[in-house]
């Protein structure tokens, strides 16, 4: 029986570290310098900011959010377009981190890491579909279908992200303990 290989194995370790650093730096810059300030403005009108629209679930709730943001449509569009750059960085960064940890010596759950490293890449099309649904609601009006589509995509995306972060925390801790605390 063969084992599942994580993504990025064709890169040497120095390339992996360089790529991880670049992806994490761009993602952090976009989040802190672009998405954060815009979302603060959106939160001044709707609690939860852009997350409120992502998880609106019903056309009626999405309509209420969009009505509250009347006059801020260009800001919402800008936020969503910046998120398109962000979604090209954070899933590969998390995937690469999980892949690197899955290959670490003393990792007791390497196979899970390889699986999560592949799975978290699905956050990219999920986030892109969610953004498309929100942009469409912004330009054509809220609908039940688009609100549910955005919510399902956001929910699945965040589930994958939590799985990746959970793996990094739990497997990272277990690997460190096995490496340094267990003789």
111 in a domain, yes or no? yes
Q: Given pLDDT bands bounded at 50, 70 and 90, which one contains residue 1?
A: very low
What's the pLDDT score for residue 88? Answer: 97
In the chain, the number of structural domains is 1
124 in a domain, yes or no? yes
129 in a domain, yes or no? yes
- Residue 106: which region, alpha, beta or left (left: phi > 0; alpha: psi -120 to 50)? left
**pLDDT, average across residues 43-67:** 97
122 in a domain, yes or no? yes
Give the separation between CA 126 and CA 71, rounded to whole angstroms: 28
CA dihedral 52, 53, 57, 61 (to 10 degrees): 90
Q: Given pLDDT bands bounded at 50, 70 and 90, which one contains residue 3?
A: confident
> For the chain, what is the mean pLDDT?
96
1 in a domain, yes or no? no
Sign of torsion over alpha carbons 41, 47, 48, 49: negative
7 in a domain, yes or no? no
Domain that holds residue 101: 13-180
* pLDDT tens column, 107-161: 999 999 999 999 999 999 999 999 999 999 999 999 999 999 999 999 999 999 9
Q: Given pLDDT bands bounded at 50, 70 and 90, which one contains residue 181?
A: confident
């Amino acid at each position: 029986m063969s084992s599942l290989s994580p993504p990025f194995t064709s890169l040497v370790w120095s390339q992996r570290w360089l790529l991880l650093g670049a992806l994490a730096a761009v993602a952090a810059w976009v989040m802190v310098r672009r998405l954060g300030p815009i979302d603060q403005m959106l939160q001044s009108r709707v609690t939860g900011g852009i997350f409120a629209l992502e998880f609106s679930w019903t056309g009626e709730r999405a309509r209420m959010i969009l009505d509250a943001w009347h006059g801020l449509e260009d800001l919402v569009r800008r936020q969503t377009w910046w998120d398109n750059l962000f979604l090209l960085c954070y899933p590969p960064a998390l995937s690469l981190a999980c892949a690197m940890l899955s290959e670490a010596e003393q990792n007791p759950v390497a196979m899970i890491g390889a699986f999560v490293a592949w799975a978290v890449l699905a956050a990219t099309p999920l986030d892109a579909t969610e953004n498309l649904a929100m942009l469409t609601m912004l330009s054509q009006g809220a609908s039940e279908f688009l609100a549910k589509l955005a919510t399902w995509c956001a929910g699945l995306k965040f589930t994958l992200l939590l799985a990746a972060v959970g793996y990094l925390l739990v497997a990272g801790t277990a690997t460190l303990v096995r490496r340094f605390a267990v003789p």
